[in-house]
Amino acid sequence: MKLRYVKFSDERRKEFCIKTIIAGDNDNLKVYKKAIFDEGIKHIRDVAKNASLLRKYYDTEVCRVVLDGDTAEFEYIEGESMEHRYIAAMKRGDIEEVKRLLLIHRDIIIGNKENETVYSYDGKVNGVFGDCSMFDGQHALKCCNYDAIAGNIIFVNESPVFIDYEWVFEYPVPTDVVLYHCIHNFYEHYPEMEDLYAFDMAMEYIGVLSDIEALKKTYLSFYDYVTSDGDTEGFALMKAICLKNTQTVHDLKRENIVNMCECDRLQGVISDINGQLLNKMENEMRMDMQLEALKKANDEMGRKNYELECKVHELTEVANEALEALNKKTVYIIARKVYRGFRSIRRGICRRR
């Protein structure tokens, strides 16, 4: 299995630290998501369950996933991303196209009619999005794909597909909260979009009227939920500790985990290099065989050319002999006719005498 891509999402709490791997042959690529710590196995299993939730509340296609033990295996989807379409419109300076894409993106994020509800504040979302009491009575989503950012939506024959859905929440979340994050993610990665079509204008255009600062706080709460926990440490922190000159036994245990993960990654790289070397050797052997075949074909052609030249020479001699014989026969016939003519003349003269 050829390793194509490895990403460690290790800046999170232990239960959310995962590694993402893309591997396989060109015509059979797969995406694998695996927990770095045992505490994250439940999160991986929840991600696999998210697919069925999305199919219930969204008309958008969902990338197929298979749970293999503590690893989620996704199909690799090829197509054009919503992010790529935003970038293309931005580079052309096409504001109308940006607005059209914003409406499409909004509809994908919201889902179908079954997904619409009214938010009734009960404090349930506080653990993830902070205090959302200011959104009470507003439009909400029964099930939200908080991961419906532009980079996670691929168009295949103009049909959108969710290729990643790690953060799906099966309880009412204010629609503006979800729209803010999914659209703002693009502006965050491509700040030049602000010069073409300001984020505030984009929010207003797609119907997000909530206070932007309040929406920003909901995202910061989500970020804190994913990354911060006073009782546990993220993998990224553990890597930083491993770089210290002085280490405790606990530090060494954590370093061992880091080394094991790094070993897995390097093993994949080695496997990929070995595969490339094997392919190179196979190609060279194939070329040697082709050269040998060409050499044999060339030798055979030379032999047949020689035989042909011999036959041509033989036929030329036969033709020359035939021509020579024909010439001799022609001279003989003419001489005979001349002789007969002389005899006839001679007999005529004798009679006159």
The lowest-confidence range among 259-268, 270-279, 282-291 is 259-268
At a CB cut-off of 8 Å and minimum separation 6, what does 244 contact? Answer: 251
What is the total count of domains within the chain? 1
239 pLDDT band, cuts 50/70/90, is: low
Supply the pLDDT for residue 140. Answer: 96
Supply the pLDDT for residue 352. Answer: 58
Report the predicted TM-score, pTM, of the whole model to 2 decimal places: 0.66
Whether 271 is in a domain gets the answer no
Whether 345 is in a domain gets the answer no
Place of tokens 């959108």: 160
| Of 164 and 253, more confident | 164
75/31 Cα distance (integer angstroms) = 6
Whether 302 is in a domain gets the answer no
Give me the DSSP letters along 127-186.
HHH---GGGTTSEEESSEETT--GGGEEEETTEEEE-----EE-S-EEHHHHHHHHHHHH
Whether 339 is in a domain gets the answer no
Q: Are 65 and 49 in contact (CB under 8 A)?
A: no
Top mean pLDDT of 6-20, 98-112, 215-229, 253-267 is at 98-112
Whether 307 is in a domain gets the answer no
Question: By C-alpha distance, which of 274, 269, 237 is closest to 255?
Answer: 237
Whether 90 is in a domain gets the answer yes
Supply the pLDDT for residue 11. Answer: 80
Whether 198 is in a domain gets the answer yes
Q: Which amino acid is at 58?
A: Y
Q: Containing domain of residue 44, as a range? A: 3-243
Q: Which amino acid is at 157?
A: N
How many other C-beta atoms lie within 10 A of the C-beta of residue 59? 15
Whether 297 is in a domain gets the answer no
Angle among Cα 20, 26, 32 to the nearest 5 degrees reads 20
| Of 334 and 51, more confident | 51
58 pLDDT band, cuts 50/70/90, is: very high
196/99 Cα distance (integer angstroms) = 11
